[in-house]
A = this chain, B = another copy of it.
Amino acid sequence: MKSHRQELWLETPTRVAFVNITPKVESALAASGIQEGLCLVNAMHISASVFINDDERGLHHDFSAWLEQLVPYDRARWHHNRTGEDNADSHIKRQVMGREVTVAITGGRLDFGPWEQIFYGEFDGQRRKRVLVKIIGE
């Protein structure tokens, strides 16, 4: 069994952002030399997500607007913010969108359906944060 580990660093200019990281995951996979296996991609921070959906800016707008309605920033509402933080909503938004994806590796490629793309979802940005790529297989 082979394994490969790589970190991706991101810093988004806005508090909430969606970044297509598929090419970077593909590069990590190429570097691994793994042909058959599983690829885990996860946010290493608990106010960010990794998820798979469509690379369409209207949809990303919809995600943001819907999440803000579902889990408003509303600093005074959340007990977590009594610690001095202001990102309780980010922790909850990340929970809705998910921490991680696991992707099958087949024939040395991400084994994807026609429209699958991997996104980093940032809910408390404007600082450097990391995504972990861990690939195991042969």
Residues of A within 8 A of B (CB): 1, 3, 5, 36-38, 40, 42-46, 51-54, 56-59, 61-63, 66, 70-71, 78-83, 88, 91-92, 94-104, 106, 111-116, 130, 132, 134, 136-138
Contact = CB atoms under 8 A, between A and B. Distances in A.
Copies of this chain, whole number: 3
6 contacts: A37-B136, A38-B40, A38-B136, A58-B82, A59-B80, A62-B78
Contact of A79 (B46, B61, B104): B61
Nearest to A117: B46
A4 B33 CA distance: 19
Nearest to A4: B36
A1 B37 CA distance: 9
Given A38-B38, A40-B104, A46-B113, 18 more contacts: A42-B103, A42-B104, A44-B112, A52-B99, A54-B80, A56-B83, A58-B82, A58-B83, A59-B91, A61-B79, A62-B79, A62-B92, A66-B71, A95-B96, A98-B99, A104-B134, A136-B136, A136-B137
Nearest to A44: B113
Nearest to A58: B79
